[in-house]
Amino acid sequence: MFALAIHGGAGTIARASLSPADELLYRAALDAALSTGYNLLRDGAAALDAVEAAVRSLEDCPLFNAGRGAVFTHDGHHEMDAALMSGHNKLAGAVTGVRQVQNPIRAARLVMEKTEHVLLGYPGADELALEYGLPLQPTEYFFTQHRYNQLQEALREGRMRLDHSQARPAPVAPLDEPDTFVGVADPNWKKGTVGAVARDQHGHLAAATSTGGMTNKRYSRIGDTPLIGAGTWADARCAISCTGNGEYFIRAVAAYDVACLMEYKGLSLEEAARIVVQDKLAPVGGEGGLIAVDAAGNITLPFNSDGMYRASRVEGGEALVAIYKE
Ligand code: ASP
C-alpha–C-alpha distance, residues 292 and 307, integer Å: 16
Contact assessment for residue 129 and residue 136, using Cβ atoms and an 8 Å cutoff: yes
Name the amino acid, one letter, at 77: H
Of all protein residues, the one whose alpha carbon is nearest to atom 4 of ligand 1 is: 246
Residues 108-139 pLDDT 10s: 999 999 999 999 999 999 999 999 999 999 99
pLDDT at 158 over 80: no
Element (H, E) at 15: none
**Which residues have a catalytic role annotated?**
193
Query: Which one-letter DSSP state was computed for residue 274?
Result: H
- Mean pLDDT for 172-195 is 50
State the angle between helix axes of 47-59 and 104-114 in degrees (0 to 180), rounded to the nearest 10: 150
Which of 65-79, 81-95, 102-116, 161-175 shows the lowest mean pLDDT across its residues?
161-175
Ligand 1 atom with minimal separation from the 11 CA: 8
Counting ligand 1 atoms within 8 A of each CB, the residue from 12, 189, 215, 245 with the most, and so the one to mutate, is 245
Model pTM score: 0.91
Q: Residue 70's pLDDT is what?
A: 94
Name the amino acid, one letter, at 255: A
C-alpha–C-alpha distance, residues 117 and 128, integer Å: 12
Q: How confident is the model at residue 163 (pLDDT cuts 50, 70, 90)?
A: very low
Counting ligand 1 atoms within 8 A of each CB, the residue from 224, 241, 251, 277 with the most, and so the one to mutate, is 224
pLDDT at 190 over 80: no
Q: Is the omega angle on the peptide bond into residue 283 within 30 degrees of 0, that is, cis? A: no
pLDDT at 162 over 50: no
pLDDT at 186 over 90: no
The answer, yes or no, to whether any atom of ligand 1 lies below 6 A from the CB of 213, is yes
The answer, yes or no, to whether any atom of ligand 1 lies below 6 A from the CB of 223, is yes
For ligand 1, the distance from its centroid to the CA atom of residue 212, given in whole angstroms, is: 8
Domains in the chain with CATH codes: 3-140+184-318 (3.60.20.30)
